[in-house]
């Protein structure tokens, strides 16, 4: 029966373990000198050799003819441990044996001397899965075990272990295996298995494995099943990192702020049974790669992709500012979290894409930084900055403009008129800038009218204070003299004058002024004045 490569080529001695010399050399020296600890703790991410080293250590301490700290792999004890006939080496999966009763059984067995080996070795894998009661049951025997008992604990989440357990173990941290060590091991295995593996493909597999040799051997196994020379293209196809053209298309839509094409692309992907949560994760990874390409001079060691895709990332990253990429990553992160709450996945994804393609829809700091950075980029390039056209207004609504007014004064006056929300043209009007203070006073003196006036503005026209509120109930409140008096007293307190109070209504809703559009208007006016 065919055996997977990661099982067939699991190291049998410490010398074969790749990328962990700080662990293997120490263990070999301890075995060679006989200075063994009663409990070991192996920590690190998956596929870095924790369980492998635990099994090698179990053989090495019981081997009849050790060689420099390595097991000989030829004596009856080594062969018995490899084929499972030596019952003095017990491997326990803590994920499925995590109760107090399981650990109590272990403590009772530990009182018996080994049958054939020198040490009774307990390998407890994923030890962080034990319950609190199980840890407490393990604690005493772990502190003072019999002289012939050896514990080896392995875990990927060492932070979940109690401090009382950590303090009783000799700890070894397994690092991510460097890509060059993985590639070297892959070439050795490929040569032994008569697999045609190119150097570029070996490096790409090593980078995709992200420091886990077991993952690298599994991917090599998958690639070899095609029966062809393993090239980077085959590795990309087998690893699932090829065929991501739609990610580049979506990023182009965001760069061009083309929401229509982006929504059509989402519709096509959804019709093809593409999972929307997976799409958000892939887009996040894609823009992360764009960020790395933009910031790092040589990003090939940080991005897992082929040379062609790396060139595409570099080219596309030039279309974005760093602020834009950070805003996109922020929106995608929030969207992924929302999708996990069970919302309609397609609609939530479409809303996210609309926010990405239309930055003016967002008012958060990341969105504003993105818009400002794009504005600065346009200014440096000398491009004309366009402002969305406002609907034309009847000539009677426009106040007469003094002929002697300078361009800068015109701009300031236009902004003031926009801020006052087009007060009636019959009288000169100005924004009442003390209105926020009035609202603060009303919050203490008259809470009902204060609640109605949330978000309101006020305009002065001679001796009349016109209040514009989006709350439809405000007009009815003005019919009650008590509320009118409360407003007049608050206004008089901050301004020193008493005004007649009215509701402002110019007969139509105006689009809310955008501060960024005002900035663009100022820049264009300045260009015209100096050009």
What pLDDT is recorded for position 382? Answer: 57
State yes or no: pLDDT of 528 exceeds 70: no
CB atoms within 10 A of CB 355: 20
List C-alpha distances in Å: 276 to 43, 114, 326. Answer: 35, 56, 21
Domains assigned to the chain? 5-174 (3.40.50.300), 179-239 (1.10.8.60), 245-380 (1.20.272.10), 428-531 (3.30.300.180)
Q: Give the confidence band of 155 by pLDDT, cuts at 50, 70, 90.
A: very high
Q: Are 51 and 154 in contact (CB under 8 A)?
A: yes
DSSP code string of 402-416:
-TT--HHHHHHHHHH
- Least trusted range by pLDDT, from 156-170, 344-358, 367-381, 514-528: 514-528
Across 54-63, 298-307, 313-322, least confident range: 298-307
Q: What percent of the chain has pLDDT over 90?
A: 25
Q: Which of 117-121, 335-339, 390-394 has the lowest mean pLDDT?
A: 390-394
> Is residue 273 helix, strand or coil?
coil
Please report the pLDDT score of residue 435 as a whole number: 86
What pLDDT sits at residue 428?
A: 45
Mean pLDDT to the nearest integer, 37-46: 92
284-298, 336-350, 368-382, 444-458 — which one is most confidently predicted on average? 284-298
- Nearest to residue 336, comparing CAs of 285, 263, 390? 285
The whole-angstrom separation of Cα 356 and Cα 259 is 8
| Averaged pLDDT, 478-494 | 85
| pLDDT at position 302 over 60 | yes
Confidence of residue 373 (pLDDT cuts 50, 70, 90): confident
Please state the pTM of the whole predicted model: 0.59
**Quick one: pLDDT at residue 254?**
92
Determine the pLDDT at residue 242.
Answer: 57
Confidence label for 380 from pLDDT (cuts 50, 70 and 90): low
pLDDT tens-place string over residues 83-122: 888 888 999 988 888 888 888 888 888 888 888 889 999 9
pLDDT over 70 at 424, yes or no: no
pLDDT band at residue 527, thresholds of 50, 70 and 90? Answer: low
Q: Would the pLDDT of 484 be above 90?
A: no
Q: What is the mean pLDDT of the chain?
A: 81
Better-predicted residue by pLDDT, 35 or 237: 35
Is the pLDDT at 18 greater than 70, yes or no? yes
Q: What average pLDDT does this structure show over 301-327? A: 86
pLDDT at 75 over 80: yes
Specify the pLDDT at position 488: 87
pLDDT value for 121: 93
Q: Is the pLDDT of residue 248 over 50?
A: yes
Nearest residue to 77 via CA among 39, 116, 42, 51: 116
Q: What pLDDT, on the 0 to 100 scale, is given for residue 405?
A: 42
Q: Other CB atoms closer than 10 Å to residue 195's CB: what's the count?
A: 18
Report whether pLDDT(124) > 50. yes
pLDDT of residue 518: 65
Asked whether 327 and 366 are in contact (CB, 8 A), the reply is: yes
Percentage of the chain with pLDDT > 70? 83
Distance (Å, rounded) from C-alpha 353 to C-alpha 262?
7
Query: Comparing C-alpha atoms, which of 368, 405, 384 is closest to residue 520?
Result: 384
The residue with greater pLDDT, 202 or 478, is 202
Collapsing DSSP states into helix, strand and coil, what is residue 374? Answer: helix
Task: Decide: residue 337, CB within 10 A, 0-12 exposed, 13-18 middle, 19+ buried.
Answer: exposed
Q: Are 57 and 40 in contact (CB under 8 A)?
A: yes
Beta strands 39-44 and 149-155: pairing type?
A: parallel
- The two beta strands, 457-461 and 170-174, are unpaired
Residue 416 has pLDDT above 60, yes or no: no
pLDDT band at 173 (very low <50, low <70, confident <90, very high): very high
CA–CA distance, 320 with 290 (Å, rounded to integer): 9
Window from 204-213, 366-375, 454-463 with minimum mean pLDDT: 366-375
Phi-psi region of 405 (alpha: psi -120 to 50; beta: other; left: phi over 0): beta
Position 529 scores a pLDDT of: 61
Query: Does residue 395 carry a pLDDT above 60?
Result: no
Measured CA to CA, the distance from residue 370 to residue 352 in angstroms comes to: 16
Q: Please give the residue that has the higher pLDDT: either 432 or 363.
A: 432
Q: Give the helix/strand (H/E) hosting 128.
A: none
530 CB-contact burial (10 Å; exposed 0-12 / middle 13-18 / buried 19+): exposed
C-alpha to C-alpha distance for 20 and 25, rounded to whole angstroms: 9
Task: State how far the Cα of 362 lies from the Cα of 331, in Å rounded to an integer.
Answer: 10
- Whole-Å CA distances, 85 to 12, 56, 77, 316: 17, 16, 9, 59
What pairs with residue 90 in β-bridges?
A: 122
């Amino acid at each position: 029966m065919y055996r997977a490569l990661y099982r067939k080529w699991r190291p049998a001695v410490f010398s074969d373990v790749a990328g962990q010399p700080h662990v293997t050399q120490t263990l070999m020296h301890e075995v060679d000198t006989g200075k063994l600890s009663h409990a070991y703790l192996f920590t690190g991410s998956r596929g870095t050799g924790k369980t492998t080293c635990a099994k090698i250590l179990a053989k090495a301490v019981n081997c009849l003819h050790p060689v420099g700290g390595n097991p000989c792999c030829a004596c009856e004890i080594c062969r018995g441990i490899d084929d499972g006939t030596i019952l003095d080496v017990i491997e326990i999966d803590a994920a499925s044996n995590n109760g107090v009763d399981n650990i109590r059984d272990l403590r009772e067995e530990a009182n018996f001397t080994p049958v054939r080996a020198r040490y009774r070795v307990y390998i407890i894998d994923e030890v962080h899965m034990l319950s609190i009661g199980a840890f407490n049951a393990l604690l005493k025997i772990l502190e003072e075990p019999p002289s012939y008992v050896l514990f080896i604990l392995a875990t990927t989440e060492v932070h979940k272990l109690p401090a009382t357990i950590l303090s009783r173990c000799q700890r070894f941290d397994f690092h991510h295996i460097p890509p060059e060590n993985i590639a070297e091991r892959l070439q050795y295995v490929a040569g032994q298995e008569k697999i045609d593996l190119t150097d570029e493909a070996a490096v790409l597999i090593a980078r995709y494995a992200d420091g886990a040799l077991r993952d690298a051997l599994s991917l090599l196994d998958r690639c070899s099943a095609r029966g062809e020379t393993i090239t980077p293209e085959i590795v990309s196809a087998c690893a699932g990192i090829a065929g991501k053209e739609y990610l580049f298309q979506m990023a182009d839509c965001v760069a061009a702020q083309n929401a229509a094409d982006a929504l059509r692309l989402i519709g096509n992907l959804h019709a093809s049974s593409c999972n929307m949560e997976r799409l958000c994760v892939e887009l996040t990874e894609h823009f992360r790669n764009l960020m790395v390409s933009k910031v790092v001079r040589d990003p090939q060691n940080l991005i897992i992709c082929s040379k062609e895709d790396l060139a595409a990332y570099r080219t596309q990253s030039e279309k974005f500012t760093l602020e834009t990429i950070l805003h996109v990553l922020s929106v995608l992160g929030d969207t992924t979290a929302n999708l996990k709450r069970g919302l309609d996945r397609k609609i939530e994804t479409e809303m996210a894409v609309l926010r990405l393609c239309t930055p003016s829809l967002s008012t958060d700091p990341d969105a504003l930084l993105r818009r400002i950075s794009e504005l600065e980029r346009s200014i440096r390039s000398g491009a004309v900055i366009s402002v969305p056209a406002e609907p034309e207004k009847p000539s009677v609504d426009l106040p007469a403009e003094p002929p002697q007014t300078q361009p800068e004064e015109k701009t300031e006056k236009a902004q003031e008129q926009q801020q006052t929300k087009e007060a009636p043209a019959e009288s000169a009007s100005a924004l009442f800038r003390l209105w926020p203070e009035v609202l603060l006073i009303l919050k203490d003196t008259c809470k009902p009218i204060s609640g109605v006036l949330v978000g309101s503005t006020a305009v002065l026209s001679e001796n009349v204070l016109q209040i514009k509120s989006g709350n439809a109930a405000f007009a009815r409140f003005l019919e009650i003299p008590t509320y009118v008096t409360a407003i007049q007293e608050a206004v008089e307190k901050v301004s020193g004058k008493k005004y007649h109070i009215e509701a402002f209504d110019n007969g139509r809703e105006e689009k809310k002024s955008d501060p960024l559009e005002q900035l663009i208007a100022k820049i264009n006016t300045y260009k015209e004045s100096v050009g």
